[in-house]
Amino acid sequence: MVAHKQMDHEEAANDRVMFGFWVYLMTDLLMFAVLFAVYAVLKDSTAGGPAGRDLFRLPLALQETLLLLTSSFTCGLGMIAARQGNKRQVLGWFGATFILGLAFLSLELIEFAEIIHEGYTWQTSAFLSAFFSLVGTHGLHITFGLLWMAITLWFVVKRGLTNNMVRKLALLSLFWHFLDIVWIFIFTIVYLGAFV
């Protein structure tokens, strides 16, 4: 009975933490929404420079999408393993998530480098300013997520799957799924939209 009460208490605390993090995600979503609005308004303001269809490569964008989508999936499986208390599986699935996320980030940086190498930067036009702001902000989130994941996994290795750790992983996976959802809109509006 006492143990039961303790669980309830812990569950309530978990719920509060989850809700707090959810509120953060929603405000982050608002920020992305504003960046999307800016992009939608400025995407034709190329100031004589290149437009999206001259710069973007759809196969590359598709690869990035598949990498992030798959990482979101492995992250979910890692979460199931965490709830079951299976440490080896947690490390395996989240490790895969980390590698897929790193691959995604590398492709994105390669794409940025190619565009800049062709002589176009965020200073070239309002369109490119908006593009780099929107996609770069997402990339920064991914970078931060990867750091967070690396640190959390390190703690899982050191301390094992405590309740506290499972909660941290749950927040991390929420963050990761969220970034995947934002990316769907970047893929659709920025990349596919440029070729419509």
Partner 1 sequence: MSKLPEHNMPKGDHGATRSYVVGFILSLIFTAIPYYLVVNKALSSSVLLIVILAIAVIQMLIQIFFFLHLGRGPKPLYNIFFFAGTVATILVVVGGSVFIMNNLHHMVPAEAAKKLIEKEGIYQINGEKTGACQGVHSNHKVTIKNDIVTPVYIEARLCDTLTFINEDEKSREMTFGSHPRHASYGGESELAVRKGRSKTVTLNELGTHQFHDHLDPGVAGSFTVIE
Give me the residues that bind partner 1 (CB under 8 A), please: 15, 18-19, 22-23, 26, 29-30, 33-34, 36-38, 40-41, 44-48, 51, 58, 62, 65-66, 69-70, 72-73, 76-77, 80, 83-86, 160-161, 163, 174, 177-178, 180-181, 184-185, 187-189, 192-193, 195-196
Q: How far apart are CA 112 and CA 97, in angstroms?
A: 23
What minimum distance in Å lies between the beta carbon of 134 and partner 1?
Answer: 12
The Cα 169–Cα 21 span in angstroms is: 12
Q: Least CB distance from residue 27 to partner 1, whole Å?
A: 8
Residue in the structure block whose two tokens are 């990035």:
64
- Measured from the CB atom, is 51 or 107 closer to partner 1? 51
- Is the Cβ–Cβ distance between 94 and 75 less than 8 Å? yes
Q: What is the dihedral of CA 184, 190, 191, 196, to 10 degrees?
A: 110
Q: Which C-beta is closer to partner 1: that of 69 or that of 96?
A: 69
Q: Which is nearer to partner 1, 32 or 132 (CB)?
A: 32
Considering the complex, what minimum distance in angstroms separates the CB of residue 158 from partner 1? 16
d(CA 182, CA 65): 11
User: Phi, psi at residue 46, to the nearest 5°?
Assistant: -95, -5
Q: Cβ distance 167 to 12 under 8 Å?
A: no
Closest CA to 135 of 165, 164, 105: 105
Min CB(108)–partner 1 separation in Å: 17
DSSP conformation class of 161:
S
Query: Which residue lies nearer to partner 1 by CB, 31 or 110?
Result: 31
Write down the least CB distance from residue 83 to partner 1, Å.
7
Nearer to partner 1, 31 or 113 (CB): 31
Token pair for 125: 């036009």
